[in-house]
Amino acid sequence: MKKRVVLGVTASIAAYKAAEIVSALKKQEIDVHVIMTEHSTHFITPLTMQILSENPVHVDVMTEPSVERINHIYLAQNSDLFVIAPATANIIGKIANGLADDMLSTVSMAVPNETPKLIAPAMNTKMYENKSMQHNLQQIKEWGFKEITPVSKVLACGDIGIGGLAQVNQIVAAILDELGQTSI
């Protein structure tokens, strides 16, 4: 039976790399369901993610595609792995503080404690190193999220330092590892 991954995409310049993640996972015969924050759709379109994942993309928590089930609960409870890549400081703060005001943060709140969870931060170095951000990241780690550590590089803003999204192959490897799979 195919493994199911729910992939959250947030509003980072690195959002386009989520398409590469989806494509790589589909090649591993993984069923990928994408949740995008509204602002992430300004960086990459839901249509792109839908075509690559071969599944509907979820953006609005108030949109219920099926009357038989509550969408955010169904997505949360029917996944083998919950991943957010890229993850902004905003979504990390929302999760750490129990906020559920969009589709991604709402699904995050509904994911069962025993479901593995990965988070791949992507942001400016000063944001990543900010004490509040680090506190929030530590909080969600205590609740079961595993961090895919960002890389140090020249960032979109021109700064040099930690905060770049980990390489796609590292993210895919971490996902496969959590699923107990190896590359085909």
Provide the annotated active-site residues.
157
Rounded to the nearest angstrom, the gap between the alpha carbon of residue 156 and the centroid of all alpha carbons in its chain is: 20
- Nearest-Å Rg of the Cα atoms of the chain is 15
What is the C-alpha to C-alpha distance for residues 184 and 182, in angstroms, rounded to an integer? Answer: 6
Contact between residue 88 and residue 15 where contact means Cβ atoms under 8 Å apart: no
Of the candidates 82, 139, 133, the residue with the CA atom closest to the CA atom of residue 108: 82
Beta strands at 151-154 and 160-164: parallel, antiparallel or unpaired: antiparallel
